[in-house]
């Protein structure tokens, strides 16, 4: 895989403690929605035992003219450097990798189950499917503590207006700590919540993205509902 150097164009807080970083897209760089990049800091001012490299999903969609990833800004050397990185600074991108990409057969629905920052590859997939007017039925169940924590909430809510094949179901697990109004689902993603929107749970291909515990919990729910492991694809965000 070729290695690219990419320049930081802008950065923005997109949810509580969560930032998106936008980079120039190198000439000839091609990727599929849902893939990820290994990002390495070049000569950072500080480093720690985890090193200067992290894997990040490309949250930008391939049709967009920039590359973007989004991350929870925890207090690690890598993220401290990233947070204060001057615009124009370069980092190294080893990419694209991964097969967390939408299946081809449009007669099979796609169900995405995301936890927190696990929504990043799914932003790319949903926006690209909408742009390409793909006929796939898409359901996105996106779980967060509070609306304040939910990255891309407005964008994904809007996407279903443009793409009538797409249904966005946000759910909040700690609304008692929120100061925002929320009229959607609350609590963890359950089999009952899935059944309400999907009906036959054994038909779709499922895509789970998020921290390991969340991925495991979702797989258990699906297995209990009779979903075959062959129809479950996962992206585990190590480090959370
Ligand atoms: C394929 C793939 C795609 C990914 N995509 C994304 C993405 O799009 N966005 C994203 O944010 N991450 C993504 N990740 C995870 C990402 O690579 C990092 O592991 C993650 O962001 C954590 O990095 P860190 O610097 O905060 O912590 P690290 O320095 O990597 O932390 C290592 C360990 O220290 C502990 N730790 C460190 N800080 C804290 C803290 N404040 N609180 C609790 N525990 C802590 C944790 O136990 C963690 O396991 C992806 C991972 C993979 C494998």
pLDDT digit string, tens, across residues 205-222? 999 999 999 999 999 999
List of long-range contacts for 219-227, beta carbons under 8 Å, 24+ apart: 221/189, 221/190, 221/191, 221/194, 224/191, 225/191, 225/194, 225/201, 226/201, 226/202, 227/201, 227/202
The tens digit of pLDDT for each residue in 122-148 reads 999 999 999 999 999 999 999 999 999
Residue 104 lies in a domain: no
172 or 2: which leads in pLDDT: 172
Cβ of 117 below 6 Å from ligand 1: yes
Q: Please report, for the domain that includes residue 156, its CATH number.
A: 3.40.50.80
**Does 19 share its domain with 135?**
no
Range of the domain at 134: 110-236
pTM of the model: 0.96
Of 149, 137, 163, nearest to 61 (Cα)? 163
Total domains in the chain come to: 2
What number does the ligand 1 atom closest to the CA of 50 have?
Answer: 29
Cβ of 215 below 6 Å from ligand 1: no
Burial 108-142 (b: 16+ CB within 10 A, else e): ebbbbbbbbbbbbbbbbbbbbbbbeebebbbbbbb
- Kindly give the interhelix angle for 212-224 and 191-198, rounded to the nearest 10 degrees: 60
Cβ of 100 below 6 Å from ligand 1: no
Of 94, 119, 136, 106, nearest to 171 (Cα)? 119
Residue 225 lies in a domain: yes
pLDDT of res. 231:
98
């Amino acid at each position: 895989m070729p290695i690219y150097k990419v320049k930081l164009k802008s950065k923005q807080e997109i949810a509580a403690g969560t930032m998106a970083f936008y980079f120039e897209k190198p000439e000839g760089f091609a990727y599929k929605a849902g893939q990820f990049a290994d990002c390495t800091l070049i000569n950072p001012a500080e480093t720690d035992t985890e090193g200067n490299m992290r894997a990040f999903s490309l949250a930008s969609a391939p049709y967009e003219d920039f590359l973007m990833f989004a991350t929870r800004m925890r207090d690690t050397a890598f993220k401290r450097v990233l947070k204060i990185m001057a615009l124009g600074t370069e980092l190294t991108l080893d990419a694209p990798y991964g097969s967390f990409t939408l299946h081809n057969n449009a007669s099979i629905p796609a169900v995405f189950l995301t936890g927190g920052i696990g929504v990043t590859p799914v932003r790319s997939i949903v926006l690209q499917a909408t742009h390409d007017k793909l006929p796939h039925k898409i359901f996105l169940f996106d779980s967060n503590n509070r609306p304040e924590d939910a990255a891309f909430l407005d964008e994904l809510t809007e996407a279903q207006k443009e793409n009538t094949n797409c249904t966005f179901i946000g759910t909040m697990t700690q609304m008692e700590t929120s100061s925002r109004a929320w009229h959607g689902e609350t609590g963890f993603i359950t089999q009952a919540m899935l059944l309400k929107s999907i009906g036959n749970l054994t038909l779709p291909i499922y895509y789970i993205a998020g921290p390991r515990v969340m991925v495991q919990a979702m797989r258990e729910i699906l297995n209990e509902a009779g979903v075959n492991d062959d129809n479950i694809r996962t992206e585990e965000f190590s480090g959370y």
